[in-house]
Amino acid sequence: MKKFLEDFKKFALRGNVLDMAVGVIIGGAFTGIVTSLTSNFITPLLSLIMTGGPGVDENGVAWTLGAAASSFLTTVINFLITAFVLFCLIRSINKLLTIGKKKEAPAPTTKKCPYCLSEIPLEATRCPHCTSELKK
């Protein structure tokens, strides 16, 4: 059972699985924005255009647009809160995953000349200080 849980942890915390989960959640929240935009602005606007004319009540239209703007703004704020919480969650997970890992030392770019002990580039075939010919 312990091996099974370790394997599941490795699978669930891989980068591509987390990325896919974030994409699905953000996609769902963005769907809410598109739905709100359509139902609160586009559909009433099309309805107003199709039935509009001299008998349209401007006060009712203004109230409807105000309520629609409020509803749409709420949906956008919900999206931003969802995105921020996901960002904090993924950032915390990434920080937890790097706690036990050692930082790798950068690959050396220089070596010491065996004759004069000065630092020279790895690719050098002759020391610039003592002009000794170096073996590769």
CA distances in angstroms from 82 to 14, 25, 32, listed in the order given: 21, 8, 12
For 67-82, the pLDDT digits (tens) are 888 889 999 999 999 9
| Alpha-carbon 64 to chain mean position | 36
Angle (deg, nearest 10), helices 2-12 and 15-37: 50
> Radius of gyration (Cα) for the chain, nearest Å?
31
Residues 9/1, Cβ–Cβ less than 8 Å: no
> What is the spatial distance between Cα 117 and Cα 131, in angstroms, rounded to a whole number?
12
> What are the pLDDT digits (tens) for 44-70?
778 777 776 555 565 566 667 778 888
| pLDDT, mean of residues 110-127 | 88
Q: Supply the pLDDT for residue 96.
A: 83
